[in-house]
Amino acid sequence: MSSDPAYDACSKAKRQYDSGNIQGAVDTLEEYLKSDPHNCKVRLQLAQHIIYGLKNKEYGMMQLDVILDLDPDYIDALKAQISILAEDKKNNKVTNEKFQKLLELDPSSDLYNTYARFLRNQMVDFPKAAEYYEKAIAMNPNKYEYHQNYSALLLNDIKDYEKAKKELEILMEMKPGDYKVKQNYDRLMREKFDKNGNVKKSRFGFLRR
């Protein structure tokens, strides 16, 4: 035993959880929190065991709410809530509000990319998703995943073929052997660009979709 009771409780609970004794892990942390109810780190571990071990999202979210009542800027609790809330579109409004809070507290390229995916898939806000993919790429231009996600948005949703072409060319430079990207690029050039490399236009002057 160490001289840190919180550490001891968390370590014991982790061993119990890893051995399959999920309820025992939850009981250990709940017992500890009776004497130290404001310990957000311990409560976060409790919430994770409840959500992912006991599969009780409602009770786990309640623990996360307690943490955020104690510390509204507790980043890990916000991230945990977002990951659960984002699973259901009926939570879009509150999920988006929590994303906004997290973006203020902990901006990063990974968070921009995650938020962009949420905007595209859940909110169906393609222009806003593009804005955040661009932010992610600006912060970390060498991350293949960001360019891949952005190119898919440009090709399939926004249908900005000039930008999509550039993103696919970046992807081919980053991974020259990626057959699927080359296939998508060749198809784009064949279907959407003329022999001079310009985007094809219909006789009415609109882009062909």
**138 domain-assigned:** yes
**192 domain-assigned:** yes
pLDDT at res. 203:
53
**181 domain-assigned:** yes
| Overall number of domains in the chain | 1
- CATH code where residue 191 lies: 1.25.40.10
Spatial CB neighbours of 144, under 8 Å, sequence gap ≥ 6 = 171, 174, 175
**161 domain-assigned:** yes
**62 domain-assigned:** no
Token readout for 74 is 């507790």
Cα distance between residue 2 and residue 6, in whole Å: 10
**146 domain-assigned:** yes
Instruction: Report DSSP letters for 64-113, one per residue.
Output: HHHHHHH-TT-HHHHHHHHHHHTTSGGGHHHHHHHHHHHHHH---HHHHH
pLDDT mean values, one per 10 residues, the chain (209 residues): 88 98 98 98 98 98 98 98 96 98 98 98 98 99 98 98 98 95 96 92 51
pLDDT at res. 201:
82
**Residue 44's closest CA among 77, 9, 18?**
77
**175 domain-assigned:** yes
Q: Please give the residue range of the domain that contains residue 142.
A: 108-200
pLDDT at res. 188:
96
Cα distance between residue 181 and residue 166, in whole Å: 12
pLDDT at res. 205:
45
**155 domain-assigned:** yes
